[in-house]
Amino acid sequence: MTSTATSHEGSDQTDVVGDLIARGRNAMAALENADQSRVDEAVTAVAWAIYAPERARELAELAVRDTGLGNVADKVTKNQRKTFGALRDLMRVKTVGVIEEDLERGIVKYAKPVGVVAAVTPSTNPAATPANKTMMALKGRNAVIIAPSPAGYNTTLRTVEFMRSALQRIGLAADLVQILPAPVTKASTQALMVACDLVVVTGSQNNVRSAYRSGTPAIGVGAGNVPVIIDDSADLDAAAEKIAASKTFDNATSCSSENSVVILDSIYDVALAALGKAGGYLADNEQKQNIARCLWVDGDLNRDLIATDFDVLAAATELGESAHGSQFAMVEEQGIGADFPFSGEKLSLVLSVYRARDFDDALSITQRLLDFQGSGHSCGIHTADMEHARRVAEQIDVVRVLVNQAHTFGNGGGFNNGLNFTLSMGCGTWAGNSISENLNYRHFINITHLSTVIAEDEPTEQQLFGDFHSKYGRN
């Protein structure tokens, strides 16, 4: 198969992007009159292209080798689980022709493509995220051009090659999926954003802001920094096991990985013990300072330590023999803000622990953590008291609140919750995002509304204003 990623050194970025766009539009013509079954074949073909065990492993190994982030076993799981879950969701919805009829309102809705989609993807998930976005784009009969992180380019290129081959295998144009040629630069990514019909960005907040400034309709997602409350009604062992499994998955590369736990004072010591039993190592003050000194360099996260195995982190931060056999480090923290780096996203096997006086204080700490970093993204609570869960949802400004769940496995969709499977979490206007839900197929279709005449539905003035006038008068 001929790759779309041949070098174009010296070529004008606008010309290169223009060629990709034209090829994408030509490829879309093959799906213009496709029925739902044919569209679903395309989506399934792309899903199998990276779900197949040998390819899921190849891409996982390549991703770790390319980026140095995460671990192979968990990336295999991510490539397969996210793809499988997204395919489940996509096979259950219509995106061709009439997708909804509301006879009472005289409205019939027709789905149409949005066009050529620019999908900007991160180094943390250089295979799973491009595949996830491609499946959603194809479900809407669109073409997609992927602008990957340079750090994960080889993995994303291989992913695209697999998806292109899968489309050709079922008789569709490979150019329904393309990739920016190497080297990917800010200039080439910006040119793509300007030229396409829709931009969907996951990863760098600089890219998100660039997408919104591009003049093209854009969907960006926010940064993570997930805090999770453990209250005094929680099953502490179950909570600790879920937090540990979630925190350590793929060495904490996920934006949904727990970054802080907020524990009520009345159960603080016993909850810490449960976390310790689940694999957490509680650093003392000197070790905490060592972690801070090594994990941040000139205010930025140390590329050599983020998303590494715990033994690498432990050795670099001199945790010593006492940490041997643990899976992640815990540091006790009180402060929040720029002067307290442990209050932010760490992209590493380090979990911050806050002691809350009571549940009201836990809510306050959680909101302040999100206000510092992770606005609108998500938080969680481990509890047997659903009133506490409802208070979190009512009072904390986030799109998602997970109850008694391992955050990494549930936030982007789970088989035991109702959230859409995705690797891109919208965070609402709190994070400057245009969506406040998980990215899903609806964001990749336009809708034509056929409106027909219905029985007149015009209330009287009294019906609309009567109560107001009775209370305040007509003046």
Per-residue pLDDT of the chain (475 residues; tens, 9 = 90+): 444 544 444 457 889 999 999 999 999 998 999 999 999 999 999 999 999 999 999 999 999 999 999 999 999 999 999 999 999 999 999 999 999 999 999 999 999 999 999 999 999 999 999 999 999 999 999 999 999 999 999 999 999 999 999 999 999 999 999 999 999 999 999 999 999 999 999 988 888 999 999 999 999 999 999 999 999 999 999 999 999 999 999 999 999 999 999 999 999 999 999 999 999 999 999 999 999 999 999 999 999 999 999 999 999 999 999 999 999 999 999 999 999 999 999 999 999 999 999 999 999 999 999 999 999 999 999 999 999 999 999 999 999 999 999 999 999 999 999 999 999 999 999 999 999 999 999 999 999 999 999 999 999 999 999 999 999 999 8
And the tokens for 106?
């005289």
And the tokens for 320?
């010593």
Any bridge partners for residue 116, and if so which? 143
**Which residue from 31, 98, 139, 197 is spatially nearest to 448, judged by alpha carbons?**
98
Contact 177, 146 (CB under 8 A): yes
All domains of the chain in start order, with CATH: 13-221+439-449 (3.40.605.10), 226-415 (3.40.309.10)
Q: Which of 255, 294, 379, 427 is catalytic?
A: 255
At a CB cut-off of 8 Å and minimum separation 6, what does 471 contact? none
- Residues 179, 162: Cα–Cα separation, whole Å: 12
And the tokens for 208?
């998100």
Cα–Cα distance list, 135 to 61, 302, 440 (Å): 22, 33, 10
Answer yes or no: 294 catalytic. Answer: no
β-strands 198-201, 116-120: how paired? Answer: parallel
E strand map for 290-369: 296-297, 300-301, 328-332, 350-356
At a CB cut-off of 8 Å and minimum separation 6, what does 29 contact? none
**Which residue from 433, 428, 421 is spatially nearest to 131, judged by alpha carbons?**
421
Cα–Cα distance list, 440 to 134, 135, 139, 419, 423 (Å): 11, 10, 10, 10, 10
E strand map for 373-459: 376-382, 398-403, 445-451
Note the pLDDT of residue 11.
57
Question: Which SS3 state, helix, strand or coil, does residue 92 take?
Answer: coil
Across 352-361, b (16+ Cβ under 10 Å) vs e yields bbbbbeebee
- Residues 420, 473: Cα–Cα separation, whole Å: 48
Angle at 422 between CA 300 and CA 235, to 5 degrees: 80
Contact 164, 174 (CB under 8 A): yes
Note the pLDDT of residue 204.
81
